[in-house]
Amino acid sequence: MTSYLHSTEAYSQSELLSDISPEGQADIFKAGHRNSYNAGEILFHEGDQAFRCYFVQSGRIKVSILHEEGKEAILRYVLPGEFMAAIAVFRGKTYPATASAVGPVSAISWDRTTMITLMHLYPPLAVNMLRVVVDRLDEVQKRYLELSAEQVAQRIARALLRMMKTSGRKTDEGIVIDFRLSRQDLADYTGTTLFSVSRVLSKWEKMGHIKSGRERIVITDAHALVAVTENS
Amino acid sequence: MTSYLHSTEAYSQSELLSDISPEGQADIFKAGHRNSYNAGEILFHEGDQAFRCYFVQSGRIKVSILHEEGKEAILRYVLPGEFMAAIAVFRGKTYPATASAVGPVSAISWDRTTMITLMHLYPPLAVNMLRVVVDRLDEVQKRYLELSAEQVAQRIARALLRMMKTSGRKTDEGIVIDFRLSRQDLADYTGTTLFSVSRVLSKWEKMGHIKSGRERIVITDAHALVAVTENS
DNA sequence: GCCGACTCTTGCGCCAGCGCAAAGAGATCT
DNA sequence: AGATCTCTTTGCGCTGGCGCAAGAGTCGGC
């Protein structure tokens, strides 16, 4: 069994904290508050004043933006060991997206003034922030290209592989994606509809590439999904 | 007639240079090299080592990413007064996209070592960079949502209105988009095909919303386009 | 002023993907 | 255990948008 954050040592994995001493990191975490959220609970809404930023300890957080008439685009899933909304808080703006807990989540959070203080105490934080946001920009741009150039099946395959890499847990059935993931979520993540996702997954299940149940997907033949990805 | 950069005074418009004294700004520009590019000329390719970054003085630069099999997504048009690729150079990575001159372009460019030196001399540069990249991230995310939620006509209307705002020039015909913009470009910008764009524009021309010619679009009824945008 | 290269238009056929509805399969609560 | 709620599947019809091909318009070079 693989997991990403058993204890506090794993903090240093975060890209935001590189080049900061272990003591400094401990200091930073001590300045934050521990929070827990239930499945489905909303941490903040798009447009709210950005008062607090978060570090995810366990669970997954869904970050999405909404369009009029209910359409939702999932921008990313925040994994344990990652920061969220740090930049919005630093800049003192509103949150650019909505964050909600996928399952039970525990996190550490800081308010704006604390964060600003920490940034003065630990200068690498600012540089790391720039790096993080650039990486994120690159990723969104790549997904933008995929959305405009690829077909639904291709995009779904890519999404599953990505989730497998970041949240896969090996079982005897195959590699299970380790959080609640509905057809609707996958549709919102890939820019299609619940129905299309359902049809594609059903087909793949018959072909033996995956197994799936309610909000649960197991990848049994990752290689086949890669082939879908490459096949125009 | 409106133009965005008649002389060097306009430099200070750039978001990257705010909180830097006029002398400092002059200093920064003196450290760069003046370059000229012909229409269609490529400044750099996606994947190249990022050696130089640019400040556009006049003309437009098209920033795009390529998908296998020729599909192209236009991420943005860089306008006079804007910086380009500053972050890629700062981070010492490869360019994440390809940049090409839309018409004749004049620009100022800096190499990596010069830039790093300047960043030490003028600390606000780093903070401004963070702000710029965050704004860009917000914009791509917004376009990602549009691409996944809206229809072709809506996206084209939005694109035209955006270009009208940033590059519109008032004439007696209406507001002309002041650079060469082909149907294919508009298609690559909105994630559709040349044909669909052509059909939509033809329709709008018949309805009197726009006038158009070869690589040239004049908006005669912006309000009607806004209506298309809002109308689901 | 003619030629060649490029851009744009439009008709036609087609299909990927959407939307709906109705039924099935799991969860959860009492 | 039964009731209820949510999530998922699947058939059916439809249509927005794609792809191609043929032709017309436009520009620039020689």
Looking at chain A from residue 76 to 105, which residues have their Cβ under 8 Å from any Cβ of chain B? 87, 90-91, 96-97
Q: Which of B110, B125, B147 is the last residue of a domain?
A: B147
Residue of A nearest to B142 (CA): A65
How far does the CA of A213 sit from the C1' of C26, in Å?
9
- The alpha helices in A81-122, defined as continuous H runs, are 86-91, 112-121
A136 lies in the same domain as A159: no
Q: Which structure tokens are listed for B196?
A: 């669909």
The CATH number that applies at residue A190 is 1.10.10.10
B127 neighbourhood in chain A, CB within 8 Å: 126
Q: Within 13 Å, how many C-alpha atoms sit on residue B203's CB side?
A: 12
Q: Is the pLDDT of residue B70 over 90?
A: no
Residues B162/B163/B165/B171 CA torsion (nearest 10 deg): -140
- Smallest Cβ–Cβ distance between B137 and the set A71, A133, A232 belongs to A133
Q: Which nucleotide is nearest to B202 (CA to C1')?
A: C9
B99 pLDDT band, cuts 50/70/90, is very high
**B68 contact residues in A (CB cutoff 8 A):** 232
| Whole-number pLDDT of residue B13 | 64
pTM for the whole structure: 0.93
Regarding whether A22 and A115 lie in a shared domain, the answer is: yes
- Provide the shortest C-alpha distance from residue B149 to chain A (in Å): 6
Domain end marker among A104, A126, A147: A147
Q: Do A97 and B142 touch (CB under 8 A)?
A: no
Pick from B96, B143, B191: CB nearest A138 = B96
**Residue B228 zone, left/alpha/beta (φ > 0; ψ -120 to 50; rest):** alpha
Is the per-residue pLDDT at B49 higher than 90? yes
Dihedral, CA of residue A26, residue A6, residue A163 and residue B140, to nearest 10: -10
**Model pLDDT, residue A2:** 38
Q: Does A115 touch chain B (CB under 8 A)?
A: no
**pLDDT value, residue B31:** 95
**Is residue B214's beta carbon less than 7 angstroms from any atom in nucleic acid strand C?**
yes
User: How many angstroms separate the CA atoms of A211 and B42, rounded?
Assistant: 47
Residue type (1 letter), A44: F
Note down the domain range covering A38: 2-147
- Residues B114-127: tens digit of each pLDDT: 999 999 999 999 88
Q: Do both A135 and A156 map to the same domain?
A: no
User: Are both A201 and A163 inside the same structural domain?
Assistant: yes
Per the structure block, which two tokens stand in for A16? 């935001």
Q: How many domains does chain A have?
A: 2
* Buried/exposed A168-191: b ≥16 CB within 10 Å, e otherwise: beeeeebbbbbbebebebbbbbbb
For residues A35 and A122, membership in a common domain is answered with yes
Distance CA B79, CA B84 (A): 10
- Contact (CB, 8 A) for B68 and B132: no
Considering the domain architecture, whether residues B123 and B194 belong to the same structural domain is answered as no
Co-location of A125 and A29 in the same domain? yes
Residue B14: predicted pLDDT: 82
Based on the domain organization, do A176 and A217 belong to the same domain?
yes
Q: Is the pLDDT of residue B162 over 90?
A: yes
pLDDT digit string, tens, across residues A124-154 = 998 899 999 999 999 999 999 999 999 999 9
- Residue B171 token pair: 């004439």
CATH number assigned to the domain comprising residue B16: 2.60.120.10
Q: What is the pLDDT of residue A91?
A: 87
Same structural domain, B183 and B166: yes
Q: Is the CB of B199 under 7 A from strand C?
A: yes
Instruction: Give the strands of the sheet with B98-101, arranged side by side.
Output: B42-44, B98-101, B61-66, B72-78
Last residue of a domain, one of B104, B129, B147: B147
Instruction: Assess B126–A contact: CB distance below 8 Å, yes or no.
Output: yes
Residues B106 and B155 both lie in one domain: no
- CA of A85 vs C1' of D16, distance in Å? 37
Residues A120 and A224 reside in one and the same domain: no
Kindly state whether residues A24 and A79 are assigned to the same domain: yes
Gyration radius from chain B CA atoms: 18
**Distance in Å, alpha carbon of A80 to nearest chain B alpha carbon:** 22
Does the pLDDT at position B132 exceed 60? Answer: yes
The tens-digit pLDDT sequence of chain A (232 residues) is: 333 333 444 455 688 999 999 999 999 999 999 999 999 999 999 999 999 999 999 999 999 999 987 899 999 999 999 999 999 998 889 999 999 999 999 999 999 999 999 999 999 998 899 999 999 999 999 999 999 999 999 999 999 999 999 999 999 999 999 999 999 999 999 999 999 999 999 999 999 999 999 999 999 999 999 999 997 6
d(CA A121, CA A110): 15
Amino acid letter at B113? T
